[in-house]
Structure formats: structure tokens, C-alpha cells
Amino acid sequence: MIKDFKASEGDRIDLRDLLQGESASTIDNFLKITTVDGVSTLQVSSEGKLNAAGGLANADVTIKLEGNNWSNANINSLIAGSDPTIKIDHNNS
């Protein structure tokens, strides 16, 4: 559980070494976000199997962020830009 994550203060989640073969069009196979009671949960499948049989049970890593409400954020907004909140390989040139 990460208790004090604040993107506005420069905090970032770096998944560049974990994800393999992701692209903007397939990112939802690799990352899912849910928010319940003020805790956002980022589920990660390093092999892109979150939409396969088994769904979220295919997550390799689960990151919980207390006090973050990413319920209205979509994955693409969190990985976009020159200094994204979530860093993945296809963002880096």
C-alpha cells in the first residue's frame, strides 16, 4: 500500500521493466484501475493477459494507492505526456 502518492509532487510509478510488448492500443490488456473507498488499485499483467480468460486473476502485480481517486481517470491519461504518472516503455523515445 502506498499511502502518500502525489503526482503533483513528482511521484511516479515506473513499470518500464515489468511490461513487455504493450502499446497504446493494447494497454488495457496490461493495466486496470479500480477505486473503492478512496483506495485506487492498479493491477498489472506483465504478459498482457488481463482481458484473457481469468481476467484480473492474471495480474502479476497489484499496487494499492491510499487517498488517490483514479476512478475517473483512464489508463491512457495516466500514461500520456512527457512525464506521465505511470511510466511504460512505449512512452519513451
Digit-coded pLDDT (tens) for 49-92: 999 888 889 999 999 999 888 877 788 889 988 889 999 875 44
For the chain, where are the alpha helices, taking DSSP H only?
Answer: 75-79
The 3-state DSSP class for residue 85 equals coil
Tell me if 93 is assigned to some domain. no
Q: Which domain holds residue 14?
A: 7-88
Computed over every residue of the chain, the mean pLDDT equals 87
Tell me if 71 is assigned to some domain. yes
pTM, two decimals, is 0.84
For the chain, the farthest-separated pair of C-alpha atoms sits apart, in whole angstroms, at 38
- C-alpha 79/C-alpha 60 separation (Å) is 19
Q: What total of structural domains would you count in the chain?
A: 1
Answer whether residue 38 shows pLDDT above 90.
Answer: no
pLDDT of residue 92: 45
Tell me if 2 is assigned to some domain. no
5 contacts: CB under 8 Å, gap ≥ 6: 11, 13, 65, 67, 68
Tell me if 1 is assigned to some domain. no
